[in-house]
Amino acid sequence: MKPVLRSVVLLLVLAVRAPVHAADPSGAEIVKRSLDAFYYAGSDMRARVTMKLINPQGQVRSRDMTMLRLNTGTSGDQRYYIYFHAPADVKGTAFLVWKYPAKEDDRWIYVPALKLVKRIAADDKRSSFVGSDFTYEDVSGRDLEDETHTLLRSEDLAGRPVYVVESKPKAAEYARRISWIDRERWLPLKEEYQDARGATMRVFTADKVEQADKHWTVTARTMKNLQSGHRTEVVFQEIAYDMGLRPDVFTERYLRDAPAQWVR
């Protein structure tokens, strides 16, 4: 290629892959807005969630659950209540998480066979969420300060304008995370988790984004583990926001006895 021609091509490429402008928000600002949109939308939320765990042979384990979320206070504290409808032999198992951004979560589980509530000590937010390819962090969000964020570029992803942000954790099982964040809706549309060798370990994709009660919501998502070949598909249905959930739903009493108003 002639030098002149090469410069022209280079310019074209640069024009399409819009460089970072001074007017763009910083990486940290983008991630902050994304965390808010993805994990904190509304004051509370309810959804019927089906989760499919698919192994490399294509065999499937399904979980069917109701998820309730309540944002408490302004410091980022949240409460999650998860009730399992299926598989049939675990029906009635319920799970409660009190999430604190700055310290380890509190978790409790109700085991119906023993009629027993047990506190689960958790000191690893990066462990698998109910056997899926999502970690607890993936489900309930990470802290902005856990990583340092750099805006790499802006581009289009499947017809949506996105910011591409690189996040490097201070300590995690991944060395680098690249996020494609919707410039208008602020939802992450794709994330790649890379190891220290630069190989992609896991890929998150938002397969379907819909508006539910005025909040843009990722209603279908996939996390694929490229190393094990395992993947998890999650679909949200019956989504409702700002229903006025009371904090007492998120207590041991309702763990034993599901709140019929919300769990159907």
Interacting residue ranges for other proteins, rule: CB under 8 A? 55-57, 59-61, 84, 87, 89-90, 93, 95, 109, 111-114, 116, 118-124, 127-131, 133, 195-197, 227-228, 230
Identity of the residue, 14 or 111, whose beta carbon is nearer to other proteins in the bound complex: 111
Q: At closest approach, how far in Å is the CB of 210 from other proteins? A: 28
| Distance from C-alpha of 123 to C-alpha of 164, rounded to nearest angstrom | 30
* Residue 190: exposure state from Cβ atoms within 10 A (0-12, 13-18, ≥19): middle
Nearer to other proteins, 14 or 60 (CB): 60
Q: What is the C-alpha separation between 161 and 170, in angstroms, rounded? A: 29
Sign of torsion over alpha carbons 247, 248, 249, 252: positive
- CB nearer to other proteins: give 8 or 122: 122
Are the CB atoms for 251 and 53 separated by under 8 Å?
Answer: no
Please report, in angstroms and rounded to a whole number, the separation of the first and last CA atoms in the chain.
65
Give CA–CA dist 96/186, Å, rounded: 28
Query: Which amino acid type is present at position 98?
Result: W
Buried b (16+ CB within 10 A) or exposed e, 53-83: bbeeeeeeeebbbbbbbbbbeeebebbbbbb
Instruction: In angstroms, give the least distance from the CB of 234 to other proteins.
Output: 15
Query: Residue holding tokens 């994304």?
Result: 34
In terms of CB distance, is 119 or 253 closer to other proteins?
119
Q: Which is nearer to other proteins, 186 or 250 (CB)?
A: 250
Q: Cβ of residue 165: shortest distance to other proteins, in angstroms? A: 25
Closer by beta carbon to other proteins, 174 or else 180: 174
